[in-house]
């Protein structure tokens, strides 16, 4: 038995007006939390401050979906870690597959973003995952290890203390295809083994590893039952209050 507190995180992506975000967070503050998990939501930047304000006094923590690597400057449209923190973000996603594939975030860029977040005391949810081609070529574990190695390059175990890893197979995000619990467990166990080798067994044992990719109210229980799955990062179903509430309150 481990004593890692599970995490259920929702990534709202580029969805929701201010009013829709306000309704959703208000509903989620009443969702209950029978498993005493950590609950995180990542609204889009336009809603972040409002959601943070409405979540105050609840157990829900607020994450940004991304941060820039500089604190300020001529980077039109980007948001710095200073601004994210000021708006109410205690955590940030970094390396979501949509950032990697749509916006071209490389391992090198992600490494600078991790540094920026840590510099400002923002907790990092670092996302990794393989494409379908990589899985079919038998390269899943190699790809994940390389993303971890390069994205987290040059940080000490002390600096990375509290980092959260999210394993999100690209082929399962927003597709309705979910990795089987066994596939998720295999990768999570390998991520943990990598962390033990690269840092220390104690660090690996303490680090939460989330699964993401079409997690639903109907499959969360079996995914959460796997020993190395410490939580879920949820896209689509985190936008629907009663579905996300069911995911938060998964059955053991
Ligand atoms: C995500 O965007 O992180 C995600 C896992 O999305 P979905 O749950 O919709 O697959």
Looking at the DSSP bridge assignments, the partners of residue 212 are: 233
- Residues 6 or more apart whose CB falls under 8 angstroms from that of 73 comprise 80
* φ, ψ of residue 235 in degrees (nearest 5): -95, -95
36 is an active site residue: no
Residue with CA closest to ligand 1 atom 8:
235
* φ, ψ of residue 120 in degrees (nearest 5): -105, 15
Band of residue 175 on the pLDDT scale cut at 50, 70, 90: confident
168 is an active site residue: yes
| Cα(39) to centroid(ligand 1), Å | 16
Of 42, 71, 51, the residue nearest 166 (C-alpha): 42
Averaged pLDDT, 94-113: 97
Got the DSSP string for 48-93? HHHHHHHHTTSSEEEEES---SSSSSS-TT---HHHHHHHT-SEEE
Give residue-wise pLDDT tens across range 16-54: 999 999 999 999 999 999 999 999 999 999 999 999 999
Token pair 């929702």 is found at: 10
Instruction: Please indicate whether residue 177, judged by its CB atom, sits closer than 6 Å to ligand 1.
Output: no
Residue 47, sorted as left (phi over 0), alpha (psi -120 to 50) or beta, turns out to be alpha
Q: Which of 173, 238, 240, 243 to mutate to test the pocket of ligand 1 (most atoms within 8 A of CB)?
A: 173
| Cα(73) to centroid(ligand 1), Å | 31
Whole-structure pTM value: 0.97
Q: In percent, how much of the chain has pLDDT > 70?
A: 99
Q: Six-digit token pair at 42? A: 């990542």
Using the predicted structure, report yes or no on whether residue 106 has a pLDDT greater than 70: yes
- Residues 6 or more apart whose CB falls under 8 angstroms from that of 194 comprise 144, 145, 148, 149, 204
Residue with CA closest to ligand 1 atom 1:
235
Looking at the DSSP bridge assignments, the partners of residue 166 are: 127, 210
**What is the reported pLDDT for 177?**
82
Calculate the CA 215 to chain-centre distance: 13
Q: What is the CA radius of gyration of the chain?
A: 17
Instruction: Please indicate whether residue 101, judged by its CB atom, sits closer than 6 Å to ligand 1.
Output: no
Got the DSSP string for 197-231? HHT-HHHHHH--EEEESS--TTTHHHHHTSTT--E
**What is the reported pLDDT for 1?**
43
Instruction: Please indicate whether residue 128, judged by its CB atom, sits closer than 6 Å to ligand 1.
Output: no
Looking at the DSSP bridge assignments, the partners of residue 42 are: 11
């Amino acid at each position: 038995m481990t004593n890692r507190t599970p995490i259920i995180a929702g990534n709202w992506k580029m969805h929701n007006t201010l009013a829709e975000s306000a309704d959703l967070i208000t509903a989620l503050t009443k969702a209950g939390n029978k498993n005493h998990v950590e609950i995180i939501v990542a609204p889009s930047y336009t809603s972040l401050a409002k959601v943070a304000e409405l979540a105050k006094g609840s157990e829900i923590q607020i994450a940004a979906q991304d941060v820039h690597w500089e604190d300020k400057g001529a980077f039109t449209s980007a948001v710095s870690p200073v601004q994210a923190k000021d708006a109410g973000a205690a955590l940030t996603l970094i390396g979501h597959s949509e950032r990697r594939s749509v916006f071209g975030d490389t391992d090198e860029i992600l490494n600078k973003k991790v540094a920026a977040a840590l510099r400002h005391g923002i907790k990092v949810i670092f996302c990794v995952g393989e494409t379908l081609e990589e899985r079919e070529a038998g390269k899943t574990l190699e790809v994940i290890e390389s993303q971890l190695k390069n994205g987290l390059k040059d940080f000490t175990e002390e600096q990375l203390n509290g980092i959260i890893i999210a394993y999100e197979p690209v082929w399962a995000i927003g597709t309705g295809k979910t990795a089987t619990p066994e596939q998720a467990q295999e990768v999570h166990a390998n991520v943990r083994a990598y962390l033990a080798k690269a840092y220390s067994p104690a660090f690996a044992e303490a680090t939460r590893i989330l699964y993401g990719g079409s997690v639903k109210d109907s499959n969360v229980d079996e995914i959460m039952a796997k020993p190395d799955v410490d939580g879920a990062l949820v896209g689509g179903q985190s936008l629907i209050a009663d579905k996300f509430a069911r995911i938060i309150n998964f059955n053991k």
